[in-house]
Chains A and B, each alone.
Chain A
């Protein structure tokens, strides 16, 4: 049942893997933006997470240690951003860009000597006979544990933001930092926590790129995935479940274009490889215009620094 040389079951199964990095990074950025902070350094945190995870996984031969190190690397880098924007009150757009430029350099510095090494294989979850079911087996029961963990994290973030006191505080800080401050919440500290969470998630996503998706180390391995994650947050109108849909959409496009390249379709390779970026632009245009504009859902204090006068 191949269509144009592409098996749809394998396509769906592999898009679920391709979607994990951008889903994790976008989910983290969603929480950051919900708290009113715009961190444009996702790409930098992702790639630092990718190399930290890779080094740890190769060193210990344990993928779990790799993912933990990736998350830690992303979080540490995000704390630089948090310090500059929350304590030194620097411009968030400029600091985010700096984070990306710095992260790209740092990762390539750390990654020297790691080219051409294979990381340890991340095990698939043993579902036993369930994985043998035709069609459903490879799509639902044929993945490594990070695929399921990322979906669980979406549910987790959705629940926390919607139904818990912590979520309410985060949203309050993002909608009106003045009001949240007047209520006695430590705006900058809450934002600092959210930024660190976002960094950890971006680092986790980056580690998934270098440990599972590619899996090896090359300079610039994330290739704009962090920027696409930022676009997905807009696409999702700051709602966690829509992040999942957005990530699957973009995962699907990147897998489809790779498959089309391999299947030798008539479309030149260059046009196929630019398609994820073009689709991102088209989606941004659709989401930003007309009625039901995505920007209406944006947190009201997004991108503004808060300085308590006393």
Chain B
């Protein structure tokens, strides 16, 4: 018989080994899935994990990697702070949309003014939009003790209808012949508000810069700042945190606000950069995938940066597999879901060890 025995202290080895084992297990299970779909598993796995890095089109795809990893890392960093403290903001997708609408809205209101100040103001507006959207579940939680999981999730659906209204109504391009979607931010149409590639071919835009900066900032916050200590304490020992003088309400407002602002930033950078304009379906679920990224990175800022690139690999490689091998795009979503399952399952080894008990021996 196999039996679990609690470790006196969590295993440091498994803390770092878990994500690696989970990725390997996902490749095996994913390979089985791809085989069931009638594809050669080895070819698909190679297309997803190898080709974007070292394949024929790697010169282009490596840049795409950064484009996808940027928003994922930015959102996941924010989420991880809350997750550590036991505050579950799962409505990042909604905050991402609202940040994009607010940021783009400010820019479009100033069209066609040309000033260096426009883009910084848009960045602020994007962060504020996401922050405000996250404040709704935060304030309801602190004032009325409402479950933040359900409220933040409901607000995703509300944000999606507002996005539909924005792209067909109040932000629609007046010169767009009635088609839905806002004015374009890309190219030369509105340079003051656009978020171009900073180094040609690298895929790095301001969103990627912010993501990496925030990763470092969050690392310092958690390692060196009293607030980071309080966040970790509140998650591991809520009672001890109260004795230490941590105010749970303040922590909820802070963590939700921060994660909302970062998600809003990600949305704003996306809509002015890679997406190019507000359209009814510019959001592709980064807000939800970022939850997987946060866990894959072990809620550790540096881990999240790494995890963001691995997840971006599944996006970029998945698109490659879809066009070259005809793999259904939903298969990648299943693949990403499986990754989280394996991660959560293997994680048991961090806190427990497996003991075998022989019959009759205790």
Which residues of A pack against B, CB within 8 Å?
40, 80, 83-84, 88-91, 93-95, 97-98, 101-106, 108-109, 112, 219, 223-224, 227, 230-231, 234, 268, 270-271, 273-274, 277-278, 280-281, 284-285, 288-289, 293, 295, 307, 309-310
Contact = CB atoms under 8 A, between A and B. Distances in A.
Contacts of A295: 145
Contacts of A289: 143-146
B295 to A, nearest CB: 6
A102 B154 contact: no
A18 B154 CA distance: 19
A98 B341 contact: yes
A95 B347 CA distance: 12
Contact of B161 (A108, A234, A270): A270
4 closest Cβ contacts across the A-B interface?
A105-B333, A102-B337, A289-B144, A90-B344
Contacts of A94: 291, 295, 340, 344
A291 B362 CA distance: 50
Contact of B145 (A98, A105, A293): A293
B6 A105 contact: no
B328 interface: yes
B154 A224 contact: yes
A269 to B, nearest CB: 9
Contacts of B90: 97
A281 B140 contact: yes
A213 to B, nearest CB: 18
Nearest to B166: A270
B145 A288 contact: yes
Contacts of B145: 288-289, 293, 295
Contacts of B158: 274, 277-278
B150 A231 contact: yes
A97 B291 contact: yes
Give the residue among B149, B288, B344, B348 with the most A Cβ atoms within 10 A. B344
Interface in B347-362: 347-348, 351-352, 362
B233 interface: no
Contact of B341 (A84, A109, A112, A281): A84
B109 interface: no
Given A224-B157, A274-B157, A277-B154, A105 B147 contact: no
Contacts of A98: 292, 337, 340-341, 344
A272 B158 CA distance: 10
Given A109-B333, A284-B150, A309-B6, 20 more contacts: A84-B345, A88-B348, A98-B337, A101-B288, A101-B291, A102-B338, A105-B336, A106-B334, A223-B157, A231-B150, A270-B161, A270-B162, A273-B161, A274-B157, A277-B158, A284-B146, A284-B151, A285-B144, A289-B145, A307-B4
A191 to B, nearest CB: 16
B165 interface: yes
Interface in B146-189: 146-147, 149-151, 153-155, 157-158, 161-162, 164-165, 169
A109 B328 CA distance: 7
Give the residue among B90, B295, B336 with the most A Cβ atoms within 10 A. B90
A108 B145 CA distance: 35
Nearest to A108: B330
A84 to B, nearest CB: 5
B331 interface: yes
A225 B149 CA distance: 15
Given A227-B153, A280-B154, A285 B330 contact: no
B88 interface: yes
A98 B154 CA distance: 18
B136 to A, nearest CB: 8
B4 A109 contact: no
Nearest to A278: B158
Nearest to B348: A88
A105 B330 contact: yes
A273 B168 CA distance: 15
B329 to A, nearest CB: 9
B153 A88 contact: no
26 contacts: A83-B345, A94-B291, A97-B340, A98-B292, A98-B337, A101-B292, A101-B336, A102-B337, A102-B340, A103-B337, A104-B337, A108-B333, A109-B331, A109-B333, A231-B150, A274-B158, A274-B161, A278-B158, A281-B140, A281-B150, A281-B154, A284-B140, A284-B147, A285-B144, A288-B146, A295-B145
A277 B157 CA distance: 7
A293 B4 CA distance: 38
B345 A90 contact: yes
A182 B90 CA distance: 36
A265 to B, nearest CB: 16
A309 B7 CA distance: 11
A100 B218 CA distance: 28
A112 B161 contact: no
A292 to B, nearest CB: 13
B270 to A, nearest CB: 20
B150 A234 contact: yes
A93 B341 CA distance: 12
B150 A105 contact: no
A87 to B, nearest CB: 8
B140 to A, nearest CB: 6
A97 to B, nearest CB: 6
Nearest to A219: B330
B330 A101 contact: no
Contacts of B335: 105
Contacts of A105: 330-337
Contact of A89 (B146, B330, B334, B352): B352
A293 B144 CA distance: 10
Contacts of B161: 270-271, 273-274
B174 to A, nearest CB: 19
Contacts of B146: 281, 284-285, 288-289
B144 A288 contact: yes
Given A40-B149, A280-B150, A101 B144 contact: no
A106 B348 contact: no
Nearest to A96: B149
